[in-house]
Amino acid sequence: MSGCSDEVDAQRLAQSLISEPFGPQVAVTFVNPDEDPAASSELVVEVARRAGVTDRVAFQMQESAARLGLDVCIATGSAHRILGATHLDDSAVSELVERILCNPVVEIWDRSRVNPGFVPTSSDGTQSRVETVALRGLNDVQLSQLNRQRGLALDHSELLVVQQWFATEGRDPTDAEIETIAQTWSEHCSHKTFTARITTTRGDVVAPLLRQLRDCTRAINAPFVVSAFDGNAGIVRFGDSHALAIKAETHNHPSAVEPFGGANTGVGGVVRDVLAAPAIPVALTDVLCFGPADTRPDQLPRGVLHPEMIREGVVAGVADYGNKIGVPTVAGAVLYDEGYIANPLVFCGCVGRVLRGYDAIGEPRVGDQIVVIGGATGRDGIKGATFSSMTVDASTGSVAGASVQIGDPIVERLVGEVLVDLLDREVPLCTSLTDCGAGGLSSAVGEMAEKLGATIDLALVERKYPGLAPWEIWLSEAQERMVLGVDPRDVPEVLHRCLTRGVKATVIGEFTGTRRLIVQHGSEIVVDMPTDFLFDGRPQREMIADLEPHPTLATTSRRVADHAQMVCQLLAHPNIASKEAVIRRYDHEILGATVIGPMSAPWQTGPSDGVVIVRPEDVNGFALGIGVNARYGLYDCRSMAWSAVDEAMRNVVSVGADPSAVALLDNFSWGDPSRPSTLGDLVHAVDGCCAAALAFSAPFVSGKDSLNNEYESDSGVRQSIPPTLVITALAHVPEVDQCMSSTLSTIGSAIVMTGLTSDELRGSHLDLLLGSDHGGLVPQPDTTAPLRYRALYELIQEGKIRSTHDCSEGGLAVALAEYCLTSPLGLNVDIRAVAATDVVALYAESNGRILLEVDPNLVNEVCERLGLAVLLGTVSEDPDLHCRTHDTQFCVSRPQMATAWSGEV
């Protein structure tokens, strides 16, 4: 506590705010910040958050102190102290602390005593001002220098256009103008690659990727699509149920440098996208990709956090935000690959129920006031959009420090409650809204003002602390803020409703109709540009794609000596093993809407396929499924994309969703697309997405790309992530009581597999365990799957299926073992009819396959109606897995399976 110098006051504060029985006891110490504390033989380290980083404890202390009439301190900070005996020398202690105990991106530390980073309460006197950037007359070398120095991440052709434009205007840009252009034209905000003109190395022209996806959605023309690729989220309405908004985002770069804050604000960001739909969030998803947990520390590239630290921080960050904001985190995946060591991936998704005011919300009108609500603005996440569009290198951790913030889910929850209040009505209290994400106000206000223009006074923006330069206010990515366009007559009402919920709300300007974006700070002009230059001035990017197929490799023999052992090894592989340790840390039950959760009910000993959500007062719900398998992408991105769509479809079909009412999301995390082969992979993947979407009549409604996920080592060697495509499926479950679980239910049931198993072992988990690429094909598109999924849906509706389990990573062998784990029952199967060889039958990861538990009397009917189905065996009381193969028969005991899957071996 700063500014409190009275012993009695300090004691009162400490006793009333901190001390408690069975809990913390307090000691009050007065410190002189200039005095060095006495040296100690013990290891004493204190860690505090940097000034301006969200510190809820400090905030609450100050607020509570004021309420108690004890507002004697002018600033508060919180720190934690770590004690230990040590014989380490100073440099070893530094390394220990900076690698494990403290993340310098958001924290500071010191031996013995840290002086908390109190935010300044008054300006240091230096007048923040607008600076002019000398741009005219720079030569090419100087231009690229400027580009690098300011971290603009603009292409050279773009820099030339900007230079030319200002030359025509007869002036140089202000700092805020050049930054605004960089943000608006960033890959993150304008999807340069997905809208680029692409030519192949053979000279053919490829349609822009985003247009391909849009055209595909248009061609499918699904009746349930309300809005696709427009605004903050995709909107669908299944039957006569509530319309749903869905969106998924990545937060990869921030999570690499500050895992907790990066993942935390990733969830916060996607929730705001859904709030801006406008919708109230009802479910969250997360797909996480990390380096192997057993990576040796000395193998880590310089400046890169250890995968285990990243995983712990990311999981804690997702849990913290989701649990506190009160939305269930229900579906996801966790993948491990060496390619993710320097570039972990964090995909956060959100589904929301659309508010009643949706139809009346759209573009702002001339004269509408611009109202910012939610958190105050600080020097947070400055330049996040351009940061996320750059390659990571060893210095990124420190240089980009300001780019990551810790979220405040309570503030966002209150913002959400206010928005429900303003918008869940036929006549909403605002005309338009968007969230403040990458690019901050520059991007949010800019986008809203695209057709009209606006004037803004930055001096009116609520700030966390003084001393911010105008461009910093304009670009700040402070969390938990939304921008509303409000009819002037409604402004008092909006401000009042925000105030009563404790949400800050400020009018900062208005939409004008002049088609100019004019930003002032008091009387000083900060930005003055026409919106058409900002939004239409960017030259289309020209890119080259190498579409030549990856080299094929003739299949070499895959030998598995002991199938029982291989099944256990596969079950124990981190990609396949139980994710329970992560799942339990997420509240997946809040809202009382989870019918099929992430673990198989009721035993909770095995996995679920998809999840099913329904409001407790409805019968009309939805299912979520996720498909991702980056390993196929190493060899064949088109098939990978199809496989990801098929897997997401299988997830939702397995739980009984209607396969003719499925909307998809695409999230691409890729390497540097300026390399023709990397772009070629992307073109193939988009092609595979579109082909699969058309085959399944499942349109894409929203998507997002995160490119340049690469690490450049000191020696200039670049390492890219594997091409990673996450497909999310949102599907209608019209009658939730008919939905399916993956839990084996009845002794004596027949086990049937629908689908065809082919020699498609490339990129499989078997190859991963065998330790090398044995060639052949990755799982290929199965164009007959849509018909079978339809037939299965009808069988489920007629009550002819007892349970289902989808067949994915690890193939049939893993699917059978997982199926056993869902209940205390076991399986007795003969897999000889599945494929000609045991290795293919057991381990191929072919698409379109689902295991079904069926009444023995219905087997003939079920197989006939599915067309392609094979009887494998029966459900046994004996809890083990017994399997007869061409060459042998084997048994995996229940304890072996359970132990392996739990990851204990």
Q: Which residues are catalytic?
A: 188, 251
Nearer to other proteins among residue 588 and residue 774 (C-beta): 588
Nearer to other proteins among residue 415 and residue 851 (C-beta): 415
For 95: left if phi > 0, alpha if psi spans -120 to 50, otherwise beta; the answer is alpha
- DSSP H helices in 449-485: 470-475
**Binding track over 497-536 against other proteins, x by CB under 8 A:** ---xxx----------------------------------
User: Smallest Cα–Cα separation from 812: which of 787, 838, 836, 786?
Assistant: 838
Q: Which stretch binds other proteins (CB under 8 A): 406-414, 676-684, 773-781, 875-883?
A: 406-414
Nearer to other proteins among residue 599 and residue 761 (C-beta): 599
CB of 589 to other proteins, least distance (A): 4
**Binding track over 49-88 against other proteins, x by CB under 8 A:** -------xx-xxx--x--xx--------------------
Q: State which of residues 616, 715, 717, 857 lies at the interface with other proteins (CB under 8 A).
A: 616
**Binding track over 617-656 against other proteins, x by CB under 8 A:** x---------------------------------------
- Omega cis (within 30) before 278: yes
- DSSP H helices in 373-439: 384-388, 396-399, 409-423
User: Smallest Cα–Cα separation from 785: which of 731, 849, 840, 845?
Assistant: 849
CB of 588 to other proteins, least distance (A): 6
Q: Which stretch binds other proteins (CB under 8 A): 19-27, 269-277, 512-520, 875-883?
A: 19-27
User: Smallest Cα–Cα separation from 279: which of 226, 346, 347?
Assistant: 226
Whole-angstrom Cα distance, residue 807 to residue 852?
Answer: 10
Whole-angstrom Cα distance, residue 811 to residue 841?
Answer: 8
Q: What is the CA radius of gyration of the chain?
A: 28
Q: State which of residues 465, 586, 635, 793 lies at the interface with other proteins (CB under 8 A).
A: 586
Residue 126 one-letter amino acid: T
Cα-Cα-Cα-Cα dihedral of 786, 789, 794, 798, to 10°? 170
CB of 736 to other proteins, least distance (A): 7
Nearer to other proteins among residue 67 and residue 202 (C-beta): 67
Whole-angstrom Cα distance, residue 688 to residue 642?
Answer: 5
**Binding track over 321-350 against other proteins, x by CB under 8 A:** --xxxx------------------------
Whole-angstrom Cα distance, residue 828 to residue 820?
Answer: 10
Q: State which of residues 4, 10, 13, 17 lies at the interface with other proteins (CB under 8 A).
A: 17
12 binds other proteins (CB under 8 A): no
Nearer to other proteins among residue 5 and residue 59 (C-beta): 59
584 binds other proteins (CB under 8 A): yes
745 binds other proteins (CB under 8 A): no
Sheet containing strand 205-206, strands side by side: 205-206, 197-200, 542-545
| Integer angstrom CA distances of residue 351 from 272, 273, 581, 628, 726 | 11, 10, 24, 19, 16
Whole-angstrom Cα distance, residue 625 to residue 648?
Answer: 5
Nearer to other proteins among residue 125 and residue 602 (C-beta): 602
Nearer to other proteins among residue 522 and residue 592 (C-beta): 592
Tell me which DSSP letter residue 97 carries.
Answer: I
Structure token digits, residue 778: 């990755």
Structure token digits, residue 903: 């990851």
Q: Which stretch binds other proteins (CB under 8 A): 184-192, 388-396, 402-410, 449-457?
A: 402-410
**Binding track over 447-486 against other proteins, x by CB under 8 A:** ----------------------------------------
Nearer to other proteins among residue 493 and residue 735 (C-beta): 735
Structure token digits, residue 82: 């770590």
Nearer to other proteins among residue 502 and residue 539 (C-beta): 502
Residues from 411 through 440 that contact other proteins (CB under 8 A): 413-414
CB of 840 to other proteins, least distance (A): 36
| Residue pair 690/216 in contact by the 8 Å Cβ criterion | yes
For residue 874, the cross-strand partners are 750, 828
DSSP structure string for 740-769? --S----TT-EEEEES---S--TT-HHHHH
Nearer to other proteins among residue 411 and residue 883 (C-beta): 411
879 binds other proteins (CB under 8 A): no
736 binds other proteins (CB under 8 A): yes
CB of 27 to other proteins, least distance (A): 17
Q: Which residues contact 270 (CB under 8 A, 6 or more apart)?
A: 247, 248, 249, 284, 348, 349, 350
CB of 350 to other proteins, least distance (A): 15
Q: Which residues contact 796 (CB under 8 A, 6 or more apart)?
A: 656, 738, 740, 804
Residues from 587 through 606 that contact other proteins (CB under 8 A): 587-592, 594-597, 599, 601-604
Give the footprint of other proteins on this chain (CB under 8 A). 17-18, 20-23, 56-57, 59-61, 64, 67-68, 319, 323-326, 408-410, 413-414, 500-502, 583-592, 594-597, 599, 601-604, 614, 616-617, 736-737, 741
